[in-house]
């Protein structure tokens, strides 16, 4: 069951998985410590029980340890960490806590049935120390911890009451110890879940920042060459201006400072090159039909008056989803913003090695002679599209056919490092 602290959190699934992982990683050591404590308890109070009772105690311990080991081993090796699976394993852990609680609840009947008040005090102190051992399970799942505590202290309190009477302080100490440990577990749970939530949120923010940084590097790599050329021309022009401003020191200093800034920007752009595309591209397996549907939906939101029909074919691509989305987005916005088209139809097809997107835009009656000569992708992000197509080894072709503009985008089904050397550059036919 989800904690109330994370039930309404937008990342509740991830937080619950993190909480369960922390619990599973720690519960092994908790089980070993509890088993060792049971062995020491049996050895310390061995004179207070018969050989048959001691044998029953250690046999019960062996059964509980084996059952716990089998269950936890199964949990540890489980690959499914979905919420239904976590709920299932949570129920298993609840059963284990009941099993361990019943085992320890059996202890007073074995070793403390005829014990003195001093022995009862020692047993109570030992149980409090064992139960108060710092653990993640105490904070992650307090219901499991309290389920274990309740039968143990109930059994001990019952045995103390039988031997000393209900009014004896040890009975109240036993109740207070149970209440204090339970309350401490609930308070620890609140703080620990808050830390888990912060950890997940920080991890998400870090991934977003990393993703944004990669997208920035990719865009710079895509247009870096085209930016460096005009910057080099600007540097030469600044040098000429600086030579002509020999008598004006302020103007010369300003020009020199501008030139230094341009040099720094030029060097930064030079560090990010499409030759290092394998570090810039983020290859993943995805269904391009889903990506295309999302981009089309975004375009329809901006230009609802444009009629866009589609016929998608599902496939699995290994490519850069971000780059492909930008290419498709750029093509669509070119059509709907910069061309008087009657309607736009998008179709997809797949062959052995490629996934093809086909855009067909019909012309309206208002389309002039000039627009009929110039394809709608001209001058609007064309360089960006060209570089991105080259980066993901895609081929772009734009042409007119029977009074309508046609655009085809051919994408390899599996992008591999170094494929650029064996693939021609993107074709842009006017």
List pLDDT tens digits, range 128-145: 887 777 676 677 888 888
| DSSP 8-state class, residue 424 | P
pTM tops 0.85, yes or no: no
Indicate if 334 and 227 belong to the same structural domain: no
Parallel, antiparallel, or unpaired: how do β-strands 354-363 and 341-350 relate?
antiparallel
Indicate if 96 and 134 belong to the same structural domain: yes
- Please give the pLDDT value at position 364: 54
Q: Is residue 23 part of a domain?
A: yes
Indicate if 146 and 21 belong to the same structural domain: yes
Task: Indicate the residue among 202, 232, 249 that finishes a domain.
Answer: 202
Task: Indicate the residue among 239, 257, 280 that finishes a domain.
Answer: 280
| Collapsed DSSP state (helix, strand, coil) of residue 341 | strand
Q: What tokens appear for 155 in the block?
A: 């059994």
Number of domains in the chain: 3
- Please give the pLDDT value at position 245: 65
Indicate if 189 and 236 belong to the same structural domain: no
Task: Indicate the residue among 202, 218, 252 that finishes a domain.
Answer: 202
Indicate if 229 and 169 belong to the same structural domain: no
Whichever domain contains 402, its CATH number is 3.30.565.10
Indicate if 295 and 244 belong to the same structural domain: no
Q: Is residue 7 part of a domain?
A: no
Q: Residue ranges of the chain with pLDDT lower than 70?
A: 1-5, 79-81, 134, 136-137, 214-233, 235-239, 242, 245-248, 250-256, 259-260, 262-281, 338-342, 363-384, 403, 416-430
CB 32 within 8 A of CB 65: no
Indicate if 215 and 323 belong to the same structural domain: no
Residue 265: give the domain boundaries.
Answer: 209-280
Q: Select from 142, 122, 130, 125 the least CA-distant residue to 104.
A: 130
Indicate if 276 and 308 belong to the same structural domain: no
Q: Is residue 2 part of a domain?
A: no
In tens, the pLDDT along 393-422 reads: 888 888 777 767 788 889 998 875 443 333
Residue 358 phi/psi, 5° resolution?
Answer: -125, 120
CB 423 within 8 A of CB 319: no
Q: DSSP states of 35-85 as a string? A: HHHHHHHHHHTGGGS-HHHHHHHHHHHHHHHHHHHHHHHHHHH----SHHH
Indicate if 49 and 133 belong to the same structural domain: yes
- Please give the pLDDT value at position 275: 43
Indicate if 273 and 135 belong to the same structural domain: no
Q: Is residue 399 part of a domain?
A: yes
Indicate if 214 and 196 belong to the same structural domain: no
Indicate if 107 and 232 belong to the same structural domain: no
């Amino acid at each position: 069951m989800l904690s109330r602290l994370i039930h309404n959190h937008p990342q509740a699934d991830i937080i619950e998985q993190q909480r369960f992982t922390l619990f599973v990683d720690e519960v092994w050591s908790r089980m070993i410590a509890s088993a060792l404590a049971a062995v020491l308890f049996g050895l310390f109070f061995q004179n207070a029980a018969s050989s048959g009772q001691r044998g029953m105690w250690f046999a019960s311990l062996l059964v509980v340890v084996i059952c716990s080991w089998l269950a936890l081993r199964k949990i540890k090796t489980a690959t499914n960490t979905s919420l239904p699976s976590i709920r299932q394993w949570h129920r298993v852990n609840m059963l284990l806590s009941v099993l361990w609680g019943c085992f320890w609840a059996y202890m007073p009947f074995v070793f403390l049935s005829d014990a003195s008040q001093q022995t009862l005090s020692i047993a109570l102190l030992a149980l409090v120390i064992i139960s108060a051992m710092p653990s993640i399970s105490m904070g992650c799942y307090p219901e499991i911890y309290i389920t274990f505590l309740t039968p143990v202290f109930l059994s001990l309190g019952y045995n103390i009451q039988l031997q000393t009477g209900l009014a004896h302080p040890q009975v109240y100490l036993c109740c207070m110890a149970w209440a204090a440990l339970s309350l401490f577990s609930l308070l620890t749970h609140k703080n620990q879940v808050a830390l888990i939530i912060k950890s997940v949120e920080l991890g998400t923010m870090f991934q977003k920042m990393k993703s944004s940084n990669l997208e920035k590097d990719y865009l710079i790599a895509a247009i870096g060459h085209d930016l460096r050329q005009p910057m080099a021309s600007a540097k030469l022009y600044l040098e000429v201006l600086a030579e002509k401003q020999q008598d004006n020191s302020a103007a010369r200093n300003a020009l020199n400072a501008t030139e230094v800034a341009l040099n720094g920007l030029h060097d930064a752009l030079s560090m990010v090159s499409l030759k290092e595309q394998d570090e810039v591209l983020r290859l993943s397996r995805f269904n391009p039909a889903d990506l295309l549907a999302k981009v089309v939906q975004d375009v329809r939101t901006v230009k609802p008056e444009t009629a866009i029909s589609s016929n998608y074919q599902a496939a699995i691509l290994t490519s850069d989803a971000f780059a492909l989305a930008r290419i498709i987005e750029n093509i669509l916005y070119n059509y709907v913003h910069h061309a008087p088209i009657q309607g736009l139809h998008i179709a997809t097809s797949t062959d052995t090695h490629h996934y093809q997107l086909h855009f067909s835009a019909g012309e309206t009656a208002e389309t002039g002679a000039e627009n009929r000569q110039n394809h709608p992708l001209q001058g609007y992000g064309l360089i960006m599209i060209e570089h991105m197509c080259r980066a993901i080894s895609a081929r772009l072709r734009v042409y007119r056919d029977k009074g309508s503009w046609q655009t085809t985008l051919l994408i390899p089904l599996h992008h591999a490092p170094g494929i650029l050397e064996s693939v021609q550059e993107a074709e842009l036919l006017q």
